Amino acid sequence: MEVERDSVSLGTWEFECGEEIPDLEVAYEAYGEFTGDNAVLVTHALTGSQHVAGHDAADATAGQARAWWDDIVGPGKAIDTTEYYVVAANVPGSCYGTTGPPATNPETGEPYGTDFPAVTVGDWTEAQRALLDELGVPHLHAVTGGSVGGMNALEWAKRHPDHVARIAPIGAAARLDPQCLALDSIARRAITTDPDWNDGDYYDGEGAPDHGLGIARQIGHVMYLSKDSMERKFGRRAAGRDAVRSFPTDPAASFFPYREVDSYLDYQAETFVERFDANSYLYLTRAMDNYDLEAGFESDADALAAFEGEAMLMSFTADWHFTVDQAEALAASMRTADVDVAHHVVDSDHGHDAFLVEPEHVGPPLSDFLDSGVDGAAVTDTGGDGDCETASRAPVHSSLFPD
């Protein structure tokens, strides 16, 4: 598969917070050939990148060796790169090539660190719009993404309703609930109370807040899993004899088992700190936490009133990060705004991670939606609450999970 990997300089850039930087560089990957009306923008989740497709380690983006949605994007896959021109861009504030806290401030010759301006999901959207202008793409066939990437897709319908025909937010909502806000707050405190964080100034090679960032990642992973998936993966089993604890423990710990779930979380922490930046984690979680679709409007429906395209929402029954109820509330707002919308509820026990690990269930409805829109999307009534005959106006419960 032919891939274009590059970055574009957007020059002086002013963020929503009112601060500006002398140059915003946006890193992107593009797959397929643009024919004028076939562009699909894929928006990544919190710690994802522009590296959406391609298994080859030589294709790795800044340490993210495996493309995060390779099972969905590619020739003959749900987002078929022989049919669509697929663009993915790393968001401002991140650390995979787009300007963020680790990037060098050209005015000082030093990393921005916490001098980098606060970023919002709206900033991500405007940077993507500017990138597409540079690539010669005036209009999008669709925008799709999971988690906060789904919020990014919603923001496209809100800010640029005339520039996109379809949006497909997956495992997303109009805003985070207080429980998730609280957990994100604890994750940030784990970073900022790590002595090596040093008020965000740790780029001199003397040390980085790896312990704090690792704990933040562990909190995130618990949010992404469900009770059922954790029981199935780990139970209460002790880790193998060769397992080594990654974090300091109290003396009494030697009396108790080091469990598989402990070992898994420690491994996730160890691998994450090798590829991600702690300041970027602070910035991106704040952007996600701050997002509210109705901001600047009277309601979510008002925010989407100008969008005349189609929408497909997908939620997962065991996802407590972005719940089915939240997705259905968003679908209801879209109906109020007279947006053609289908809501697919996937019966899954994988939790929030389902949008990444269940391509066989995510891919078919997404493919149908991209190809034919709401009316052509595959819908199966299995006796749930959905009404297939009014799929564009009512919640749809699709049989997408194996028996």
Catalytic residues, by residue number, are 147, 319, 352
**Cα–chain center distance at 284:** 10
CA distance 236 to 297: 48
The alpha carbon dihedral of 89, 91, 92, 96 has a sign of negative
Q: Which amino acid is at 362?
A: V
**What is the distance between the terminal CA atoms of the chain, rounded to a whole angstrom?**
34
Question: Could you tell me which of 143, 182, 116, 118 has the C-alpha nearest to residue 44?
Answer: 143
Decide: 329 and 341 in contact? Cβ < 8 Å. no
Q: Which amino acid is at 257?
A: P
Q: Which amino acid is at 141?
A: H
CA distance 217 to 374: 36
User: Three-state DSSP class for 40?
Assistant: strand
Nearest-5° Cα angle at 230, 227 to 235: 110
**Cα–chain center distance at 315:** 14
Backbone angles phi, psi at 17, to 5 degrees: -70, -10
